[in-house]
Amino acid sequence: MTEIAVVGGGLSGCLLACVLAQRGEKVVLYERRADPREGTAERGRSINLALSERGLNALRRVGLAERVLTDALPMRGRMIHPVAGDLDFQSYSADGTRAINSISRGALNNVLLDAAAKAVDIRFEHRLTGLDPGSGEMVFDTPGGPARGRAELVFGADGAGSAVRGELLRHDATAETLDFLDYGYKELTIPARDGEFALDPGALHIWPRGRSMMIALPNPDKSFTCTLFWPNSGTGAFASLSSPAAIERFFADVYPDVPPLAPDLVSDYQHNPVGLLGTVRCTSWHSGRACLIGDAAHAIVPFYGQGANCAFEDVVVLDECLRRTGGDWTATLPLFESSRRADTEAIARMALANFIEMRDKVASPLFRLGQRVEHTLERLLPGRYVSRYELVSFTNTPYAQVRRRVRAQHGALAVGLGAAATLAGGVAKAWRRP
């Protein structure tokens, strides 16, 4: 039995604690917040999650997948909202049956906390202020004053702003790169209308506007959580709208179908905070007795809906590495990093690319044509041709392998189309000969 500290009681920290407890390890889970199950969520910070196969695969390991899905709503495609004209539904899968699942971060975290509380010791209101990665000695700031702890192994599962990563940096045990976008996010709400959904609950709604966009995900209470992804500077940026009149005028012009559905639009816009968007990379995820996991090691932008799914998959990979090493942590930590690094870099790149697709390309006729061609190929070549989106969202194919396979598929398709064009040209020439 290894004494393990998990710092961070969010999604990946709770799942990790449960998986380690199943393996017979002695785990203490430290969380800087008070117990979120006993309070209210921070305003404008929920960001609904799109839970897909990778996340569900991880949750099955601790018997929580079915429980979590009772709080989720399946979304089988994107619903595109143009400035003018009809809505356009774009299915995520060739057969139209596969779905990603909308769930609130808070609801999912509460389910995981309940499970963790049955398996490990949880200490809330413990904010990490010091860590010696060599000895596993920890110092926490608590309401009762400084507190100390020690563990044979310390996992930093404390998110993109990880205090554990900060301590590794302080000890020169890693280096980090923070690539922030010149974009931020802000949440709005579309409430239920006459007790029903104001929009189709079976879709992820997107308002693509070139340099910016808004999305909306359904909630079980029949509301929608909307998220604006706008530039931080320039025209149409968060900073450019200050007065209620300016906010109302801008939404009437750019998102004309939203104001009638969002009675608290101006209040939400003025009072909900603007969050940061960026990618975190580290030169090393582990040193001595400390290891980073999830967003603490490799935070990504949210535009593929894979942040939580990727972090959950980290726990699966770590568990598999432990099985391969027979529970030898000295061998497991470097194996975990080497097994996972290429995949986390691959999804970081795909998430950035998908931002451009969502805010701009999904509204174009050429994109819609390409999507129809892909779905046709998937039906004609089942299992042989699979789109990037389906591989990422509906399989557990490693992210790096997804990128390689998609490049190979596109290359083969280009060769095939080229050969067909050459053949057609040859036939046409032969037909024209006297």
* In a domain? residue 341: yes
Residues 188 and 169 in one domain: no
* In a domain? residue 94: no
Residues 128 and 216 in one domain: no
Q: Of the residues 276, 310, 333, which one is the last residue of a structural domain? A: 276
Helical packing angle, 307-325 and 53-60, nearest 10°: 40
Residues 68 and 146 in one domain: yes
pLDDT per residue as tens, the chain (434 positions)? 789 999 999 999 999 999 999 999 999 999 999 999 987 555 555 568 999 999 999 999 999 999 999 989 999 999 999 999 999 999 999 888 999 999 999 999 999 999 999 999 999 999 999 999 999 999 999 999 999 999 999 999 999 999 999 999 999 999 999 999 999 999 999 999 999 999 999 999 999 998 899 999 999 999 999 999 999 888 788 988 989 999 999 999 999 999 999 999 999 999 999 999 999 999 999 999 999 999 999 999 999 999 999 999 999 999 999 999 999 999 999 999 999 999 999 999 999 998 888 877 777 788 778 888 888 888 888 888 999 999 999 999 999 999 999 999 888 776 655 554 454 444 445 455 54
Residue keyed to tokens 């356009």 = 88
Assessment of whether the complete model's pTM goes beyond 0.85: yes
* In a domain? residue 188: yes
Total residue length of the chain: 434
Residues 207 and 347 in one domain: no
**337 in helix, strand or coil?**
helix
Encoded amino acid at 166, one letter: G
pLDDT at position 419 is 52
Let me know: does 14 contact 118? Beta carbons within 8 Å: no
* In a domain? residue 97: no
Domain that holds residue 378: 363-432
What the block records as the tokens of 152 is 């044979």
**89 in helix, strand or coil?**
strand
Residues 350 and 207 in one domain: no
Residues 285 and 414 in one domain: no
Residues 55 and 140 in one domain: yes
Residues 184 and 172 in one domain: no
Residues 154 and 268 in one domain: no
pLDDT at position 430 is 45
Q: For the chain, how many structural domains are there in total?
A: 3
pLDDT at position 388 is 92
Q: Which one, of 53, 43, 45, lies nearest residue 74 by Cα? A: 53
